[in-house]
């Protein structure tokens, strides 16, 4: 599984990355987590608001910081 956190580096984007990273570590998941800050790359996902979470190339959350339980639900935990 691959998860990308899209955002230019604002505090909400950093917090989103930290929430996703914490869920991955606490549940010992085999996930490739990357942070995408390049505007051109973010445009490929057709999002207008950040932060956004992309799971296996599908945009799942955009425009808000998810809770840990929302991330767990996305990952099927």
**pLDDT at position 77, please?**
87
- pLDDT digit string (tens) for the chain, length 77 residues: 999 999 998 999 999 999 999 999 999 999 999 999 999 999 999 998 999 999 999 999 999 999 999 999 999 88
Distance between CA 14 and CA 35 in Å, rounded?
9
Q: Is residue 61 a contact partner of residue 72, using CB atoms and an 8 Å limit?
A: no
- To the query of whether residue 20 is one of the catalytic residues in this protein, the response is no
Reading the block at residue 60, the tokens are: 């799942």
**pLDDT at position 51, please?**
97
Q: Which residues of 27-55 are buried (b: 16+ CB within 10 A; e: fewer)?
A: eeeebebebbeeeeebeeeebeebbbbbb
pTM recorded for the entire structure? 0.93
User: Active site residue: 3, 6, 13, 52, which one?
Assistant: 13
User: Active site residue: 10, 29, 43, 77, which one?
Assistant: 10
Read off the DSSP letter of residue 67: P
Distance between CA 24 and CA 43 in Å, rounded?
26
- 2-75 belongs to which homologous superfamily? Glutaredoxin (3.40.30.10)
Domain map (residue ranges) of the chain:
2-75
- To the query of whether residue 10 is one of the catalytic residues in this protein, the response is yes
């Amino acid at each position: 599984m691959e998860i990308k956190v899209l955002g230019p580096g604002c505090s909400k984007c950093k917090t989103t990355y930290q929430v996703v990273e914490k869920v991955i570590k606490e549940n010992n998941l085999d996930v490739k987590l990357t942070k995408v800050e390049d505007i051109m790359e973010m445009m490929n996902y057709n999002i207008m608001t950040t932060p956004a979470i992309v799971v296996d190339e599908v945009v799942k959350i955009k425009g808000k910081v998810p809770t840990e339980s929302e991330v767990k639900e996305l990952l099927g935990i």
